[in-house]
Amino acid sequence: MVLCQLSRGGGLLQEEHWCFFTGCNPSSTHFPAYKSFSLSESSLGVKAAGKAQHNQLKGKSEERITRTVAMDLIPGFSTETWVLLATSLVLLYLYGTYSHGLFKKLGIPGPRPLPYFGNILGYRKGVDHFDKKCFQQYGKMWGVYDGRQPLLAVTDPNMIKSVLVKECYSVFTNRRSFGPLGAMRNALSLAEDEEWKRIRTLLSPTFTSGKLKEMFPIISHYGDLLVSNLRKEAEKGKPVTMKDIFGAYSMDVITSTAFGVNIDSLNNPQDPFVENSKKLLKFSFFDPFLLSLIFFPFLTPIFEVLNITLFPKSSVNFFTKSVKRMKESRLTDQQKRRVDLLQLMINSQNSKEMDPHKSLSNEELVAQGIIFIFAGYETTSSALSLLAYELATHPDVQQKLQEEIEATFPNKAPPTYDALAQMEYLDMVVNETLRLYPIAARLERACKKDVEIHGVFVPKGTVVVVPVFVLHRDPDLWPEPEEFRPERYKTPGKGTHPDPLWCLHILSTLIIGDKWVIMQSFICIYFVIRRFFSLRVFIV
């Protein structure tokens, strides 16, 4: 039976009829064969019954359609397929969480991790902010997860000393293995075990006081260039963005001391060395490629085979060709004496016949040059910018520094390496800046085997983290840690440390280039303070 509603007329004069059809589907040829009952508008009772039956049929039809659509959306899998699908989902969940119970078993507190992500979403405001929050909430030690990788953060000085010094060569030699590196696996900060020891031994002579003294005239030249660029900007009568100026200075110093290339990068931003160097520095923790390595580290060998690496291939190729060309040129012209990093590495290659272990391959040579740019540019320019900010916001400190410079170099005498090294207050200012704004927010070491350190069991594969930013603002170590007070280094005593990189620098050899960074900072601040009357901050 099918119920149809027919209408005739319109508005108030509209007359409605309800027709009931039985038998086969109605059509124009079948209509006469059906019995029909015409109900006028006055037959309200019969009409209401017809509408009720219509609504009932309509509801059943909609329910049937909904059920059909739902069945179409759900695949008609067999029981075995459903079991396989459920098992796969469970295995995926377990894969993304199986390591997340480690610190709970060890009784180490820490924030609750998410499947696959771990605690990395907490880094959105910065690693330093995240570590500070954990320090305030969990105390001297806590455990977190970068994806599935467990990280144990320690702030106890004795534990740090064990990790960085006592057990360094036996247990905590390597940094965390992270992603496909390609040729960059030969870089000092990325090499492992015996290769790391060999490369470090070969590069250490580059950063001795004697070699830095030889590099001093090169860096001083770019200090003069820095002042010229600052003067040009100041003459415009507008505030100067110091990060751009110091970034150019840092780039010029790095390219000259590493490769012997003279570049005025502020005025020549299109220089290939500048462009390719900046490509190396484009890095985001939430980059999809980087996240894929965090979530699925087993993809690393596949990326290696496909020649996909963390470092831009075009930049690596550019520096490879440039180093090869410069090396050939220097081997042809051996009369000119050079003191840059590239020349020292070439010299190590020339000693290959004497001792094969004391030489660098061409790939290793390129990798050291690239990592020198990668590690030195952003850190140095940021440190100098923050140093200038602290001087601008502390005019009393700036005045004392000006007085010391005038006393050390009277009558505008040119700077010398030995004289700068003896400037006590300048050293305090740089040290206090590096305490407040450390070069690295964290220092990491991977545990090569199960070990117990001061009563704490550290399983193999765990990454031990030294949260440098937190340590440098720990009130137990530094009275009024948020204050910029260079005088705290004048008389080291309780609660103070003479070395601003204390946790990184328990031994002076832990950071191979720290003297180079500090000397670069000394020269920069000398020229800026000497040539300009004062620094001021403009809030925009």
CATH 1.10.630.10 fits 161-531, yes or no: yes
CA separation, residue 496 to residues 131, 306, 340, 390, 437 (Å): 21, 51, 36, 20, 16
Q: State the DSSP H helix or E strand holding residue 2, giving kind and residue range, or none if neither.
A: strand 2-8
Q: What is the radius of gyration, based on Cα positions, of the chain? A: 36
pLDDT value at residue 491? 60
8 Å CB contact between 327 and 341: no
pLDDT value at residue 387? 93
The tally of CA atoms less than 13 A away on the side-chain side of residue 336 is 9
**Three-state DSSP state, 279:** helix
- Spatial distance between the Cα atoms of 485 and 487, rounded to a whole number of angstroms: 5
Residue 91: Cβ within 10 Å count:
10
DSSP string over 437-467: S-S-S-EEEE--S-EEETTEEE-TTPEEEE-
pLDDT value at residue 42? 42
Domain coordinates in residue numbering, the chain: 2-73, 161-531
Which residues sit opposite 163 in a β-bridge? Answer: none
What is the reported pTM? 0.77
pLDDT value at residue 142? 97
pLDDT value at residue 12? 37
Q: Pick from 311, 247, 303, 308: which is nearest to 283 by CA? A: 311
Edge-to-edge strand order for the sheet containing 443-446?
141-146, 149-154, 463-466, 443-446
Length of the chain: 540
pLDDT value at residue 92? 87
Q: Pick from 187, 122, 108: which is nearest to 150 by CA? A: 108
Mean pLDDT, each 10-residue run in order, the chain (540 residues) = 44 42 43 39 46 53 55 66 88 89 95 93 92 95 95 92 88 87 86 88 81 88 89 82 87 86 82 83 76 84 87 87 82 70 76 62 85 82 91 92 92 89 92 88 92 94 93 88 90 47 46 78 89 57
